[in-house]
Structure 1
């Protein structure tokens, strides 16, 4: 799951901090809030660095006030809560050794070296002790350590902190000030009455002024974690928590978590008999059951239909290839760690393909191409295999065997801007047909690492063309510096689901490099040989991931056109089965997936069962319905329409499905459509 869609921020209050005055005093003098969700907790200086409110500049300084209910403000609250957690742990478990405790999205964690794993009872006790620390209003006080040797002496009992000091960097944890280029600092928690140190931690800060500025927090879970993320290092115990600017904000977050849990596609996949992950096959390799197979087939069939209408040509490529192909494409040098190990066959190394594009390039290159054929749009539902690490694999949204709805468009440079605009419109319209309609775009550009290939001029041209296509779409555009693929920049479509979470969906990439590597060419109108531009595009990302996202978006209650069973006939008694079988026969003849429940269960239990299975249309029939040649509609939300003539009922269902309505049918919506 991705972060929420960004929104325009309100102007940030600016304050001048006079020399020799604390930032906190200047904030109070300016009349800015000191309590509540919008309380100022830190300030940002002219260099963009966050400073404690106790910071005293040596010269007048204009700063931005950072409120608790901003992303930066929440991060400071969460980091401060992590310190309170660490203090509570060392008070409860005096032998515990400290790892690191940074803020993370929606919360924080802290790693500890302890004799035995923390239990749920331990978390409850720690949370209680944290509340006592918060209530005590301990003051966070920044202290500069005179030297590395002094730090080593003070931290002699903390081996992991000593290691950080010796590394002399922040090791991407925000835990330690850079040594040499900056200061080494410790934050002490001071008793508000005596001013004595209660606890302290090596940290670069900043922090909220006092523990009372942590209005709401909760410990959520424990996990094992290797020190500094390496399996070569000791395994520590990681406690996760969340913290917010108000109890109301935290309650809303916890309810979002609970709703996300209710929508978890892994649980729904089992309950609705859609898919499974047998251990005998291996991690990240799903099996789709008959019902899941229907949903997947319908997703793919509609996508195929739309692609055919848009002029795409379907291809098919093998699952395995000689190693040389992926050296030519550049994937092996750059992405070997995400590919499965090679197979040795007939003195050749073969790889399971991790991407479809090299094979599509070979199709383009298989014969001479004319400018009249361009743009040439190739499309494939191609299964690829990627060796995701076990800790990253997650249900259908991160798998090792994934089917990409992969397209590669070969066009001239002159065609590229128009092709990108139409391609982006096609992607957005097709995603909307599946019920996703709230989007923003992310533009991933070249970074300063050595993994990128191609000239700066080509990257600049490709990036600007993509940027303009994104701007022309009218959607918000968010920068992602350094996030591009090694061969070119990309646009990612981020879609918001029913509970406000953003998911990365489609990607569109401009590629000037693969055409060179594969020596792709077409004959131009003047007879010269020219090199095409390649546009890489995955619409769903992968069928598996899109399946998982849609399952959670609809909470398993798929639109009728995607539902594995669209209609379930429920007789009141055995003598009404024949009537419903006749109705179901008519529906099946019209292409509707319909069944009759002729089990021995009572009618009310059948209704409960099929409501739980999220069947969109239930048709009930008793003696009066049989006599009148009618049925009664029952819907997922419990509403009902009685005595509907069979012809009208069949027409209603067929038209609803054919319209590809994404809303769940109900008595109100069906009556409105009649």
Structure 2
């Protein structure tokens, strides 16, 4: 036994302690059941870790980001143990924590059924109550191979040690470090119950898992490659308290009700036919109305801000994308080439190369700058089938793409005005809760250009962001290969975060395309290029708004702003005349002249989430009036026709919800 000096850090306090060898982190940090692990000199460790001289220890709470990962990773191990107890033939893949939950991949002969998930969850509850102890031990490659000889995917991970990446989700130490196995030991006898190759750390025991639930199963290719076997992935969620689990499940239920794919069908807005192809949507008439209104308003605002509209083709010779740098740096996200007349042609994945051609079509003077080009340009990107998701992750979509060419001197003011313009326009569509993310370069080789150029571009973006008074979050290494970017992150009505507009400063493409303008002194100078997508893509923004409003669009965006509901057949003509007046004023007004009873017509209009139901009966006709029924069920009777039209027009003009 000998003395060991350690420092315990809690918040801003530091306490020096002298303990004996063999003292564990649990003994030093114990007493608080919310502490599930220790950060030891920057490294996460189990509470069973025996401290060494000079260690600095910090408690890791279960509700901290690291604590949640440890909770969810531990629950994933319980899931895997439960599966192998019920399905002994199941082979183990990987089981990492993810946002709000965890998953584990299995190779099984038959895909899991919902009833299987119920059995597995019950078995997990049994394991949780047993209080099995998670115990870490270091093993050699040979020992790991011998112990896990029946697990082919684990053997593959052992072979990848040193080459594996966090993106693989591999439960092995990355970078050629030590291999570790975690044993699940019986709480009373210490006998081995189950084991897994894992880097850890884990909770002390399975009883420390407070609340969890299995969600669903799905197919997933091993290590994300379509060349590998298809495994069965079980998703689950775990939380520090049962109340938090309940709140999360309620949130998921609300999110499911708002799912744009579900609402798209219910409201007859769009579809993604299998015969057309995954990730390729068609908009139906009502969806087309919303899309047109979105585009028309954006187009008007851009015209007022001095943008000029251009149009470019959907395909190009490969040489253009070689020059822009997309083929060397972005080819995996582009569709394969089409050979034609001895040339390779590509579907465009970006509009910027073609906008460079517009700039370069003739000589440019400093008097023309800043030159703001804008296009609703459809692009095509090869997304793997596993990540395609409705309109939010598509293979064909239309960007509201702008490229601004300016001098270096103009850049600070342009970025400031551009970010103000972007945020203002997003607010007009009903989003209001934002923060900003600044994506920069790291030391990897994917980034073009000199570090000094990146520093200048990054600093200009940082200053522009600072003027907005919003939270700024750093994203090291997240920049595009040609320049840093600011992303506007917007929270929707139920608190989810969506990446919206992006603004990128690019010194590289003007050089690659040899873009120049004539300066005031007659010299030839290189412009700065600013990339900007405001919606990101029209399809994705459409989906975000659809979920944000849960389909209950404000009147200015609603595909049908008002529907006439006659009490009887004799009132149809009266409402048709009223509808004709409304349409002359630009309103989208329909009359339900079907044979359905009035209450059925009201229910139909409510299901379609129409803002104004305009009802007419004998008294209304006699008084030259109508009655309003609103989406919340309230009603206002005997409104003169001109006042009724004025109310609808006012609601549309204010772009506010009713």
Common topology (TM > 0.5) = yes
1:605 aligns with 2:600: yes
The Cα of 1:303 is off from its aligned counterpart by: 0.2
Q: Are 1:175 and 1:205, in contact at CA under 8 Å, matched by a contact in 2?
A: no
Runs ≥4 residues deviating over 6 A: 12-15
Structure 2 CA distance for aligned equivalents of residues 232 and 284 of structure 1: 21
1:402 aligns with 2:379: no
Q: Are 1:18 and 1:57, in contact at CA under 8 Å, matched by a contact in 2?
A: no
Name the residue aligned to 1:669: none
1:155 aligns with 2:148: yes
1:452 aligns with 2:454: no
Higher relative contact order (CA 8 A, sep 6+): 1
Structure 1 CA distance for aligned equivalents of residues 565 and 17 of structure 2: 74
Map Cα deviations across residues 378-434 of structure 1 (whole Å, 9 max, x no partner): 111111111222222111111111111011110000111111011000000000000
Provide closer, same or farther for how the CA distance between residues 591 and 426 of structure 1 changes in structure 2, counting only shifts above 3 A.
same
Structure 1 CA distance for aligned equivalents of residues 174 and 507 of structure 2: 42
Tell me, what secondary structure is at the counterpart of 2:467? helix
Structure 2 CA distance for aligned equivalents of residues 108 and 178 of structure 1: 19
The Cα of 1:157 is off from its aligned counterpart by: 2.1
**Unpaired stretches in structure 2, ≥5 consecutive residues:** 1-9
Q: Are 1:323 and 1:349, in contact at CA under 8 Å, matched by a contact in 2?
A: yes
The Cα of 1:346 is off from its aligned counterpart by: 2.5
Name the residue aligned to 1:250: 245
Q: Are 2:383 and 2:394, in contact at CA under 8 Å, matched by a contact in 1?
A: yes
1:166 pairs with one of 152, 159, 162: 159
Trace 1:402-481 onto structure 2 (pairs within 5 A).
Answer: 402-481=397-476
The Cα of 1:532 is off from its aligned counterpart by: 0.5
1:380 aligns with 2:382: no
Name the residue aligned to 2:26: 24
Structure 1 CA distance for aligned equivalents of residues 196 and 133 of structure 2: 13
Q: Are 2:562 and 2:590, in contact at CA under 8 Å, matched by a contact in 1?
A: yes
**Unpaired stretches in structure 1, ≥5 consecutive residues:** 1-9, 666-674
Normalised to the residue count of structure 1, the TM-score between the two structures is 0.93
Trace 1:226-237 onto structure 2 (pairs within 5 A).
Answer: 226-237=221-232
1:301 aligns with 2:301: no
Structure 2 CA distance for aligned equivalents of residues 95 and 109 of structure 1: 19
1:53 aligns with 2:47: yes
Name the residue aligned to 1:492: 487
Structure 1 CA distance for aligned equivalents of residues 112 and 66 of structure 2: 30
1:350 pairs with one of 334, 345, 348: 345
The Cα of 1:583 is off from its aligned counterpart by: 1.8
Tell me, what secondary structure is at the counterpart of 1:637? coil
Trace 1:240-319 onto structure 2 (pairs within 5 A).
Answer: 240-319=235-314
The Cα of 1:163 is off from its aligned counterpart by: 2.1
Structure 2 CA distance for aligned equivalents of residues 12 and 53 of structure 1: 21
1:643 aligns with 2:638: yes
1:507 pairs with one of 495, 502, 505: 502
The Cα of 1:177 is off from its aligned counterpart by: 4.2
The Cα of 1:16 is off from its aligned counterpart by: 5.7
1:588 pairs with one of 583, 594, 600: 583
Tell me, what secondary structure is at the counterpart of 1:473? coil
Map Cα deviations across residues 135-174 of structure 1 (whole Å, 9 max, x no partner): 11111111222x2222222222222222222222354256
Name the residue aligned to 2:119: 125
The Cα of 1:562 is off from its aligned counterpart by: 0.8
Provide closer, same or farther for how the CA distance between residues 388 and 230 of structure 1 changes in structure 2, counting only shifts above 3 A.
closer
Provide closer, same or farther for how the CA distance between residues 180 and 579 of structure 1 changes in structure 2, counting only shifts above 3 A.
closer
Name the residue aligned to 2:3: none
Structure 1 CA distance for aligned equivalents of residues 344 and 112 of structure 2: 47
Tell me, what secondary structure is at the counterpart of 2:384? coil
The Cα of 1:452 is off from its aligned counterpart by: 1.4
Q: Are 1:17 and 1:62, in contact at CA under 8 Å, matched by a contact in 2?
A: no
Map Cα deviations across residues 537-593 of structure 1 (whole Å, 9 max, x no partner): 000001111111111111111110011110101011111112212221221111101
Trace 1:474-623 onto structure 2 (pairs within 5 A).
Answer: 474-623=469-618
Provide closer, same or farther for how the CA distance between residues 256 and 16 of structure 1 changes in structure 2, counting only shifts above 3 A.
farther
Structure 2 CA distance for aligned equivalents of residues 181 and 402 of structure 1: 42
Q: Are 1:587 and 1:654, in contact at CA under 8 Å, matched by a contact in 2?
A: no
Q: Are 2:402 and 2:532, in contact at CA under 8 Å, matched by a contact in 1?
A: yes
The Cα of 1:233 is off from its aligned counterpart by: 2.5
Q: Are 1:17 and 1:57, in contact at CA under 8 Å, matched by a contact in 2?
A: no
The Cα of 1:524 is off from its aligned counterpart by: 0.9
Provide closer, same or farther for how the CA distance between residues 143 and 250 of structure 1 changes in structure 2, counting only shifts above 3 A.
same
Structure 2 CA distance for aligned equivalents of residues 613 and 119 of structure 1: 34
Q: Are 2:222 and 2:231, in contact at CA under 8 Å, matched by a contact in 1?
A: yes
Structure 2 CA distance for aligned equivalents of residues 496 and 288 of structure 1: 26
Structure 2 CA distance for aligned equivalents of residues 514 and 546 of structure 1: 27
Structure 2 CA distance for aligned equivalents of residues 184 and 336 of structure 1: 35
Q: Are 1:17 and 1:26, in contact at CA under 8 Å, matched by a contact in 2?
A: no
The Cα of 1:179 is off from its aligned counterpart by: 7.9
Provide closer, same or farther for how the CA distance between residues 266 and 12 of structure 1 changes in structure 2, counting only shifts above 3 A.
farther
Trace 1:54-93 onto structure 2 (pairs within 5 A).
Answer: 54-93=48-87
The Cα of 1:349 is off from its aligned counterpart by: 2.2
Q: Are 2:96 and 2:171, in contact at CA under 8 Å, matched by a contact in 1?
A: no
Name the residue aligned to 1:210: 205
The Cα of 1:25 is off from its aligned counterpart by: 1.4
Q: Are 1:441 and 1:494, in contact at CA under 8 Å, matched by a contact in 2?
A: yes
User: Is the deviation greater in 254-263 or in 162-171?
Assistant: 162-171
The Cα of 1:505 is off from its aligned counterpart by: 0.5
Q: Are 1:315 and 1:378, in contact at CA under 8 Å, matched by a contact in 2?
A: yes
The Cα of 1:314 is off from its aligned counterpart by: 0.9
Q: Are 1:144 and 1:186, in contact at CA under 8 Å, matched by a contact in 2?
A: yes
Name the residue aligned to 1:361: 356
Structure 1 CA distance for aligned equivalents of residues 513 and 193 of structure 2: 66
Normalised to the residue count of structure 2, the TM-score between the two structures is 0.95
Q: Are 1:632 and 1:640, in contact at CA under 8 Å, matched by a contact in 2?
A: yes
Q: Are 1:14 and 1:62, in contact at CA under 8 Å, matched by a contact in 2?
A: no
Q: Are 2:613 and 2:630, in contact at CA under 8 Å, matched by a contact in 1?
A: yes
Q: Are 2:316 and 2:346, in contact at CA under 8 Å, matched by a contact in 1?
A: yes
Structure 2 CA distance for aligned equivalents of residues 456 and 179 of structure 1: 28
Aligned-residue CA RMSD (Å): 1.7
Q: Are 1:16 and 1:62, in contact at CA under 8 Å, matched by a contact in 2?
A: no
Structure 1 CA distance for aligned equivalents of residues 16 and 582 of structure 2: 73
Map Cα deviations across residues 16-60 of structure 1 (whole Å, 9 max, x no partner): 6754321111122xx5x21xxxx11111122x2111111111215
